[in-house]
């Protein structure tokens, strides 16, 4: 993992939320919130909450008796999340998912949407989740399937790679879609002590009003933009335009409905 892969600062939080939120993250956030609907009280922890897209879905769906704590490594993402409507009941806290600042057996459930791929040491992060979960507590998280199963990410990845054939930016394939092997995920969870995990692979429509939105989101709203400007300091606009044209060529102008696919994983801490 490159050192820039976990840096979400500057203009990234706003672009991430504005462009990628509605098409990529909100559909899966609604799905995860439904999976937690049986939780009527207790303590819920979200790790790698980003700008709070899942957090706000949880706050809207779960009863007030569920106390929600949302954490992220990047303070700029949390700062943006705090300013959004719908998160007033949430306790926001900066924290490294690999070293959680909570006591053992504090939470009834832990949830993470598209965050575990960014943990440099996943075994350590999973052990931390296991530690802070109460016996019998659930750990729910989502990860993207391979890049070929995610239309818009795949188009942007191949387009930007073609602009720098001698040194293609690999962020999208390396990190967001780089942790898709189900057998590896299950082995990592078992190594942290979790009981047998379940994986639900969900394909969903990915809707966006124009080709420019995913181009802006995936490049300007992620560390991919940093990789582009490291190769060409004036290349950001060129990359966004090239990606916009490639998406338009595939799906046409105007409203786009592509497809995306992710694994929804549920693991349980044994009751004893």
Which H or E run contains 91? Answer: strand 91-94
pLDDT of 27 over the 70 cut: yes
Dihedral (Cα; 7, 171, 149, 220), 10-degree rounding: 60
Q: Which residues contact 165 (CB under 8 A, 6 or more apart)?
A: none
Q: 225-242, pLDDT tens digit by residue?
A: 999 999 999 999 999 999
pLDDT of 16 over the 80 cut: no
> For residue 20, how many C-alpha atoms fall within 13 Å in the half-sphere facing its CB?
25
Q: What percent of the chain clears pLDDT 90, i.e. is strictly above it?
A: 84
In this prediction, residues 49-67 reach a mean pLDDT of: 95
In this prediction, residues 153-174 reach a mean pLDDT of: 97
Q: pLDDT grade, residue 77 (50/70/90)?
A: confident
pLDDT of 94 over the 60 cut: yes
Q: In whole numbers, what is the pLDDT of the chain averaged over residues?
A: 93
> What is the per-residue pLDDT for 92?
97
pLDDT of 180 over the 70 cut: yes
> What is the per-residue pLDDT for 9?
56
What's the residue count for the chain?
272
Question: What angle do the packed helices 151-163 and 224-231 form, to 10 degrees?
Answer: 10
> What is the per-residue pLDDT for 86?
85
Q: Is 3.40.228.10 the CATH number for 3-147+171-206+261-268?
A: no
pLDDT of 15 over the 70 cut: yes
Coil, strand or helix: which one is 208?
strand
Nearest-angstrom CA–CA distance, 11 and 27: 23
In this prediction, residues 157-162 reach a mean pLDDT of: 98
Q: Where are the chain's structural domains?
A: 3-147+171-206+261-268
For residue 177, give both structure tokens: 């879609």
Q: 28-53, pLDDT tens digit by residue?
A: 999 999 999 999 999 999 999 999 99
pTM above 0.85, yes or no: yes
Nearest-angstrom CA–CA distance, 206 and 112: 20
- In order of 11, 97, 167, 175, the CA distances from 120 in angstroms are 23, 10, 23, 10
Q: 191-205, pLDDT tens digit by residue?
A: 999 988 999 999 999
């Amino acid at each position: 993992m490159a050192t820039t892969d976990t840096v979400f600062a500057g203009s990234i939080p706003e672009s991430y939320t504005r462009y990628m939120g509605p098409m990529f993250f909100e559909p899966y956030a609604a799905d995860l919130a439904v999976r937690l609907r049986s939780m009527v009280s207790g303590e819920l922890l979200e790790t790698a909450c980003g700008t709070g897209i899942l957090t706000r879905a949880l706050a809207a769906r779960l009863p007030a008796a569920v106390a929600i704590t949302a954490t992220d490594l990047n303070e700029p993402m949390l700062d943006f999340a705090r300013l959004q409507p719908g998160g007033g009941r949430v306790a926001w806290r900066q924290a490294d998912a690999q070293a959680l600042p909570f006591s053992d057996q504090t939470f009834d459930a832990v949830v993470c949407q598209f965050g575990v791929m960014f943990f440099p040491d996943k075994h350590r992060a999973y052990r931390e989740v296991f530690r802070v979960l109460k016996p019998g507590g659930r750990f729910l998280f989502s990860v993207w399937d391979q890049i070929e199963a995610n239309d818009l990410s795949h188009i942007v990845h191949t387009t930007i790679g073609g602009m720098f054939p001698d040194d293609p930016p690999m962020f999208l394939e390396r990190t967001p879609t780089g942790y898709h092997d189900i057998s590896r995920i299950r082995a990592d969870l078992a190594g942290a002590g979790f009981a047998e995990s379940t994986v639900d692979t969900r394909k969903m429509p990915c809707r966006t009003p124009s080709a420019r939105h995913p181009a802006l989101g995936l490049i300007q709203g992620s560390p991919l933009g940093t990789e582009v400007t490291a190769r060409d300091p004036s290349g950001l606009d060129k990359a966004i335009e090239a990606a916009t044209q490639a998406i338009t060529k595939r799906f046409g102008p105007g409203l786009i409905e592509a497809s995306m696919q992710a694994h929804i994983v549920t693991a349980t801490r044994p009751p004893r």
